[in-house]
Structure 1
Amino acid sequence: MAKYKPSNEDQMVMLPISLQDQLVPGTLEHTIHRLVDENINLSVFDERYKNDVTGAAAIHPKSLLKVILLAYARGMISSRQIERACHENILFIALSYGYAPDHSTIAAFVSSMQKEISSIFSNILLVCEELGLLDGTHFSLDGVKLSANVSKEWSGTFDELKHKRDKLQEKLQRVIAEHVQADAQPEVELKRQKKRERRFQLQVERLNRFLQEQEPKYGSEGREIQSNVIDNESAKMPSAHGVIQGYNAQALVDSKHQVILAAEAFASQDHENLAPMLEGAKKNLAAIGKEPTYFEGKELTADSNYHSFNSLTWCKDEKIDAYIPDIQYRKRDPRFADQERFKDGVHGRRRPEAKSDMFTAADFSFDASKQVYLCPHGKELACHARNQTNRYRTYDIYHARPEDCAACPLKARCLSKSTSSRRYLSIPVDTQPPNLIDEMKAKIDSEEGKRIYARRLGIVEPVFANICVQKRMHRFTLRSKRKVDVQWTRKRFALVHNIAKIHTFGVLI
């Protein structure tokens, strides 16, 4: 008969463990431990605690910061996952000094760092500069669209949200009627009916509160864009995985070791974010002693999503050597002659061809005396907004009255969608210098321009691959732009990605 060693779960074991010995030099956790202790100014957290005379002692911010940074580097983005690791994983126990903070403490710390984040980011960036990880000659800008902690099913225009509320109210009335009929049913069925009734009631109350407290949002062309009831600062965006409700997370990256100089989350398209990103990078670099003219004469590459009059004008004014192609540049490059074969997903969609009998801007006449446009049916379109700039042109926006369009016999030829309530007319205003576009086309089409622009792919794209795939940070867990900014800057960039670069390429003695 086989013999086995006895198994006794009741036996007591004493394990003498030195927490300091668990942080082995050369490991990422040791790098995080050293950086937080020696290079990050933690005094910025002191003012949030008011327990110097009374109150219990708080867990030190350095413990929380170390634990959170290592957790994010390991792909843990849930506060409950981090709490569990602080109880079970000896590395997390060592970094937290055995205090094992609970998930509510971790979550509160994560979401309340709006004031401290800039200082911490600058501290890490200064270490990168001191270790020679910054080159300062070529920078790449790009963005990735990540889902917010909301459902896109709660998005819509105000009319659509009102319709959704009415439908939910109808469902609520049906559930209440079913509840009355179910009084004779078993207790389990009654509880289920009450739960459904309460759920629909809360949804109706949420929609009513949103419609009363918020105002419709309008895009650059003067048309109402969809709002979201849960996080109204997020937006619907096309991505490689379809249309998502989320934010456009941006990063400006140095070419030498892919260190991130600035990071911010927006709800706008890429071409609106170039100037804010460069201004943010200037502030971060000024904090480590760089001059405001740091970017002058330096190369900046960004993809065609950033190409616009405003972006090119801003780069010219700032004396930045920008390489930002237009959306047609691949069609002029013989190397991409077969690109149509490989399109798929959202970016492979084609616009439906316009109906030949639809009215165009040429069918509308301008009445100079009234400063209005007249539609083919003779109704007036008043000016709704002036000097609205999109990527390439500046427009004045005119629109008709909804009641005129509703009764118009020609609306089938005028309104592109059956759900549209009025006709909008965009009239170009020639206020932007056209030579900037032509100059950039010639610059990108040159052999030197192609060579420089080709560097972009190897500089900024691996950053997003590392963050979203390797570290599994592919969604936001917080709500509102203010909190998402902190999460993106701290969790994904400054204190995870850049610390990993310090660990890999830097030398901490």
Structure 2
Amino acid sequence: MIGRRYKQGTARGYEARLPRRIEDFVGTDNPVRAIDAFVDTLDLAVLGFVNAGGARRCGQPAFAPAALLKLYIAGYLDRVHSSRRLARECRRNLEFMWLLEGLTPGYRTIAAFRQFNGPALRAVCKDFILLCKDLDLLGGEEIGIDGAFFNASASDASVITKTTLEKRLKQIECDIAAYHQDLETQDAQERGLPEDLSKTPELAAKIVTLQARQAQHAALLKQLADSGDTQISRTDPDARALRKGGQQLVGYNVQNSVDGKHRLIVHYEVTNAGNDTQQLAPQALAAKAVLAVPKLTAAADAGYFNEAQLAACAQANITVYVPVPDYEKRLTAEGRLSGASFQYLPDTDVYRCPGNQELHRYGEPHRRAGTGTLYTRYSRPPGACQDCPLKASCLPASGRRQIERSEHAPVVEALRQRMADQGPARMRQRAGLVEHPFGTLKRWFGWDHFLVRGFEKVWGEMSLMVLGYNLTRVIHILGVQAFRDYCAQRLSRRLLPA
């Protein structure tokens, strides 16, 4: 019986008479060609890269920043983030060999490039966003805003809170006092025992160790007091313990603003805030500035609701769609009248209750602690509602119903009406728009944690991820060859004499 035939490869020891070029292994539609074309259009000295310009120096020549930037972009697109793995790929990956023209930088050189060029990497990402705008790939009409937690290069044990520090300091003080008491006891019980600690080595060593630990904790506590924070990471000073929806990690809160036309990221920020309540206006205003449009529509989830943030967006001509939380849901569930049952009459500055009575201003406006928002109270005189048939479902135990109106109430009321008209559709659109980039970064690019520490370096690594995501989108939209043609035109314009 004749056995099955299989395709045969070329013998490993075969010597080709016509050796193939590396160029032949990289197709014309390979993304590394787009990376090569884009980086060649950049003026890296202007963008602030280390070793990108200046006078010639003695010693071994440095690796060109352009080559290392190309390596990082290609690596992040290929799910290779580690500097050691990138160094290995330079010796075995034909695409990387082609891109770096055979250069093989060591992992320390590769790691140092990412470590010391954080601001420059941000500048490159910003340049690419402007490139997308020049290509008319940004709609500039609507954006989606969302945030996600990403792990820092720090463990849970590295984070210590103010409360924990205070407890540890108190315990150390008790331990030191106990050791001193032991010394006094020994002095009293044993005649001739030296009083100096240098001759009682065990207790002396323990006290010295505790005193050193006490000094470290006191320094950390002072650092917290100076910064106003309640926690600090001893590994990454800018990382924080974050909790949201059952998720708990030590890391950063990454914010993205995504344009609605082609799902391109137009603005991003790295924060260590534990929630998104202060992120709406900064994201929306920054995205509007990048898009350079007179008005903009922004959609975000319920975690972004903040009256002051909504007011700032309205003042900047940004129409926001955010779910309005129902703070009086419990009252409604109990069959009681919530604040929504009272109608505000702007012409007379009064509230009309369901019993057709008016609630007038009561007392002086006050600012609520924490938010700083100005509130005005509205109420009826004491005892005025005792004969009302709705008294049982309206009046609290004090016997006097009060309504507090925020200085931002008109903005919230307009938002509530917009959400009633278009809310469900806008939220579905937002989910499909802004959650796509985070899903791509985590699943397709295989990225879920930062490899560097500190805001400046973390911003740089995030810039690489955003750049890789946007570049992938542009290649899918235009194609590699069309993008290379545009880059050639862009380079020629840059090289034209001023």
Contact 1:165 1:204 in 2 (8 A): no
The answer to whether residue 60 in structure 2 is matched with residue 56 in structure 1 is yes
Which residue pairs with 1:455 in the alignment?
A: 429
Q: CA deviation at 1:303?
A: 0.7
The answer to whether residue 416 in structure 2 is matched with residue 441 in structure 1 is yes
Following the alignment from structure 2 to structure 1, what is the Cα–Cα distance between the partners of residues 99 and 262?
27
- TM-score w.r.t. the length of structure 2 is 0.66
SS in 1 for 2:219: helix
Distance 1:6 1:76, change over 3 A: closer
Over residues 123-154 of structure 1, what are the superposed CA-to-partner deviations in whole Å (9 max), with x where a residue is unaligned? 21132123332111110110110111111212
Map 1:60-79 → 2, pairs under 5 A? 60-79=64-83
Contact 1:444 1:453 in 2 (8 A): no
Which residue pairs with 1:127 in the alignment?
A: 131
Map 1:110-509 → 2, pairs under 5 A? 110-161=114-165, 163=167, 208-209=215-216, 211-212=218-219, 215=222, 217=224, 225-239=230-244, 242-268=247-273, 269-282=275-288, 285=290, 291=292, 294=293, 296-328=294-326, 388-390=369-371, 432-446=407-421, 448-488=422-462, 490-493=463-466, 495-506=467-478, 507-508=482-483, 509=485
Q: CA deviation at 1:157?
A: 2.1
Q: CA deviation at 1:261?
A: 0.5
Contact 1:45 1:61 in 2 (8 A): no
Higher mean C-alpha deviation, range 144-153 or range 114-123: 114-123
- TM-score w.r.t. the length of structure 1 is 0.65
Distance 1:56 1:321, change over 3 A: same
The answer to whether residue 107 in structure 2 is matched with residue 103 in structure 1 is yes
Following the alignment from structure 1 to structure 2, what is the Cα–Cα distance between the partners of residues 19 and 166?
67
Q: Which amino acid aligns with 2:419?
A: I
Over residues 105-138 of structure 1, what are the superposed CA-to-partner deviations in whole Å (9 max), with x where a residue is unaligned? 1111112223323431232113212333211111
Specify every segment of 5 or more residues in structure 1 that has no aligned partner in the other structure, as ranges. 171-200, 333-385, 396-428
Aligned residues: 376
State the identity %. Answer: 24
Higher mean C-alpha deviation, range 272-281 or range 207-216: 207-216
Contact 2:118 2:461 in 1 (8 A): no
Over residues 163-209 of structure 1, what are the superposed CA-to-partner deviations in whole Å (9 max), with x where a residue is unaligned? 56899999xxxxxxxxxxxxxxxxxxxxxxxxxxxxxx999978854
1:31 maps to which of 31, 34, 40: 34
SS in 1 for 2:222: coil
Contact 1:44 1:116 in 2 (8 A): no
Q: CA deviation at 1:434?
A: 2.7
Following the alignment from structure 2 to structure 1, what is the Cα–Cα distance between the partners of residues 122 and 75?
21
Q: Which amino acid aligns with 1:492?
A: M
Over residues 446-498 of structure 1, what are the superposed CA-to-partner deviations in whole Å (9 max), with x where a residue is unaligned? 2x33323321011111111100111111111111122111111x2221x2001
Q: CA deviation at 1:10?
A: 7.8
Contact 1:157 1:216 in 2 (8 A): no
Distance 1:436 1:89, change over 3 A: same
SS in 1 for 2:453: coil
Larger radius of gyration: 2
The answer to whether residue 19 in structure 2 is matched with residue 21 in structure 1 is no
Distance 1:20 1:316, change over 3 A: same
SS in 2 for 1:250: strand
1:42 maps to which of 41, 44, 51: 44
Contact 1:301 1:324 in 2 (8 A): yes
Specify every segment of 5 or more residues in structure 2 that has no aligned partner in the other structure, as ranges. 176-207, 331-366, 376-403, 486-498
Following the alignment from structure 2 to structure 1, what is the Cα–Cα distance between the partners of residues 320 and 240?
28
Map 1:74-89 → 2, pairs under 5 A? 74-89=78-93
Over residues 282-336 of structure 1, what are the superposed CA-to-partner deviations in whole Å (9 max), with x where a residue is unaligned? 55x2xxxx64xx2x4321101111110121011111110111112449x89xxxx
Distance 1:81 1:131, change over 3 A: same
RMSD: 3.9
Following the alignment from structure 2 to structure 1, what is the Cα–Cα distance between the partners of residues 447 and 115?
16
Distance 1:76 1:388, change over 3 A: farther
SS in 1 for 2:119: coil
Contact 1:155 1:161 in 2 (8 A): no
SS in 1 for 2:257: strand
SS in 2 for 1:116: helix
Over residues 200-258 of structure 1, what are the superposed CA-to-partner deviations in whole Å (9 max), with x where a residue is unaligned? x99997885464156364799x9x62222222321111246731011000111001111
Following the alignment from structure 2 to structure 1, what is the Cα–Cα distance between the partners of residues 133 and 464?
20
